């Protein structure tokens, strides 16, 4: 087996990353070697990597994937990747896409393994999750903890509900700042997201997610007051009708104590009233 490329040597050849542009490259060989193992149970025939940087993780992914598509926004780093991995590209094992992962046309992929740029981690995640493919992604630790949080905990919020609507969320490894160059000011974490259908139905997914977002702007209020106070956000034309149609035991709780299934039931009631289902 060919030895993995040295992440520090890759940076020396490619040029220093700039933290002002959200560039913090993983340089700890042990962490780099472990990350692909978190995707061992997934189909790795076509792995999508978002934020490839200088290619340290790309190199590890090429050892386990049938094909890797690496997306890199920085034009200089994208060109470096094409030069550094010219043999792998010529062999048909790697495709380098230069552009913003929020804008480029992404290929069909079997899973994504990525050290995401933290500034756009939420937007990228919610572009990938609806695709229904498994993901192994690096985040700021606080963000990862909120994704995996359970109802009733301080970290639980709209991010938790939205992520868990699409997938089982596991925080599989905490990564110290020292594992990166340059070092971020926060710890990081690797999260594995295994797609699965929710155990509830939603009448309109976009409405459901907007409804959850609205209620969590009033997380310290009762659900009753949260529904009434956020009609301008959720788009409800008759918030009182929604309140009247919901059981008191739910209305008396705060949004942070409601599980995703209860949010779905609430959203379905609200949607039915909005579409003329009556009280």
Task: Give the annotated binding-site residues for S-adenosyl-L-methionine.
Answer: 24, 26, 51, 72, 100, 115
> Which residues have CB under 8 Å from 8's CB, separation 6+?
27, 181
> Which residues have CB under 8 Å from 72's CB, separation 6+?
51, 52, 53, 78, 81, 96, 97, 98
DSSP string, 47-89: EEEE--TTSHHHHHHHTT-S-EEEEES-HHHHHHHHHHTHHHH
* Alpha-helix runs per DSSP H in the chain: 7-14, 29-34, 56-62, 75-84, 86-90, 121-128, 141-148, 158-166, 205-216, 223-229, 231-234, 239-244, 248-251, 260-274
Annotated binding-site residue numbers:
24, 26, 51, 72, 100, 115
Alpha carbon of 152 to those of 165, 166, 250: distances in Å?
Answer: 17, 20, 14
SS3 221: coil
């Amino acid at each position: 087996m060919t030895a993995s490329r040295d992440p520090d040597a890759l940076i020396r050849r490619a040029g220093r990353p700039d933290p002002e542009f959200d560039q913090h490259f993983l340089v700890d060989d042990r962490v780099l070697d472990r990350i692909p193992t978190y995707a061992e149970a997934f189909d790795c025939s076509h792995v999508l990597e978002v934020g490839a940087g200088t290619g340290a993780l790309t190199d590890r992914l090429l050892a386990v994937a049938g094909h890797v598509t690496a997306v890199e926004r920085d034009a200089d780093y994208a060109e470096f990747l094409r030069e550094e991995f010219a043999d792998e590209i010529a062999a048909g094992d790697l495709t380098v896409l230069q552009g913003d992962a929020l804008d480029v046309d992404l290929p069909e992929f079997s899973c994504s393994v990525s050290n995401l740029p933290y500034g756009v981690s939420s937007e990228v995640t919610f572009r990938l999750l609806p695709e229904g493919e498994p993901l192994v992604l690096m985040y700021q630790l606080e963000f990862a903890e909120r994704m995996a949080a359970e109802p009733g905990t301080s970290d639980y919020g709209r991010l938790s509900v939205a992520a868990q609507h699409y997938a089982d969320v596991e925080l599989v490894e905490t990564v110290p700042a020292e594992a990166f160059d340059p070092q971020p000011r926060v710890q990081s974490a690797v999260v594995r997201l295994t797609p699965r259908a929710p155990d509830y139905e939603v009448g309109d997914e976009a409405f459901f997610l907007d409804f959850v977002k609205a209620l969590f702007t009033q997380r310290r209020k009762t659900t009753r007051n949260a529904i009434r106070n956020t009609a301008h956000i959720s788009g409800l034309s008759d918030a009182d009708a929604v309140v009247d149609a919901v059981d008191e035991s739910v209305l008396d709780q705060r949004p942070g104590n409601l599980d995703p299934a209860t949010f779905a039931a609430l959203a379905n009631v609200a949607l039915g009233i909005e579409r003329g289902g009556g009280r």
